[in-house]
Chain A
Amino acid sequence: DGGITQSPKYLFRKEGQNVTLSCEQNLNHDAMYWYRQDPGQGLRLIYYSQIVNDFQKGDIAEGYSVSREKKESFPLTVTSAQKNPTAFYLCASRDRDRSSYEQYFGPGTRLTVT
């Protein structure tokens, strides 16, 4: 089945540690995105990538880093510089060849930092 995989579903870390969230897609989509969701709020864009080896900052990139070495993978690292890392993180992808613009989402990773 084609889709987006995020692992793990729940992640716990101690304050001061970097942590990397996985996002893999087998939809052959060029564009990939990372969003953050806080309770009772909408999604906010952290980083996005339109093609391999290229990515841009979104609205709340501070304290995060990404890489895009392969088309199917777009891992997100939450660094110790991120002041409030506890949140629900969603990865998405989009087919740039289609002028449809909808993004398809993975199941998300809930990160708790204590």
Chain B
Amino acid sequence: AQKVTQAQTEISVVEKEDVTLDCVYETRDTTYYLFWYKQPPSGELVFLIRRNSFDEQNEISGRYSWNFQKSTSSFNFTITASQVVDSAVYFCALSEAQAGAQKLVFGQGTRLTINP
């Protein structure tokens, strides 16, 4: 069975600090996709990134970076030089690439608060 664990329920840092959100996943499939979503106070989930299981290259997008390590089943998300606008709940999710609906399994989310 698929499972996503985000062990950090809440994180609070001061603006400009770097912060890493952890995500550990479980799956029996060899082909799967991992995602990060951001949920600001408005409630809508915003798609940030997708990674497939065959691509372990780290990715950087501005202040955001993602570290995918199959050996430890982790897909961690780092925000560099955090800003108040980064405050949100962040979800990691997993989808197995089998024929069908490609359902997403979500972690419980990490509430990130950036203090000015």
What is the minimal beta-carbon distance from A29 to any residue of chain B, in angstroms?
A: 12
| Nearest residue, chain B, Cβ from A42 | B106
* Residues of chain B within 8 A of A31, CB atoms compared: 101-102
Is the CB–CB distance between A105 and B106 below 8 Å? no
What is the minimal beta-carbon distance from A105 to any residue of chain B, in angstroms?
A: 4
A-B contact count (CB 8 A): 62
Q: Is A45's CB within 8 Å of the partner chain B?
A: yes
Bound CA–CA A102/B106 (angstroms):
12
| Nearest residue, chain A, Cβ from B100 | A50
Classify the secondary structure of B's interface with A: loop
What is the number of residues of chain B that contact chain A, defined by CB distance less than 8 Å?
24
Which residues of B in the span 17-52 have a Cβ within 8 Å of any Cβ on A? Answer: 33, 35, 37, 42-47, 50
Which residues of B in the span 77-91 have a Cβ within 8 Å of any Cβ on A? Answer: 91
* Residues of chain B within 8 A of A110, CB atoms compared: 43
Is the CB–CB distance between B104 and A45 below 8 Å? yes
Which residues of A in the span 94-114 have a Cβ within 8 Å of any Cβ on B? Answer: 94, 99-108, 110
Is the CB–CB distance between A101 and B33 below 8 Å? yes
| Nearest residue, chain A, Cβ from B47 | A102
What is the minimal beta-carbon distance from B42 to any residue of chain A, in angstroms?
A: 7
Q: Mark A52-91, 1 if CB is under 8 A from B, else 0.
A: 0000101000000000000000000000000000001010
Interface residues of A (CB under 8 A from B): 31, 33, 40-45, 48, 50, 56, 58, 88, 90, 92, 94, 99-108, 110
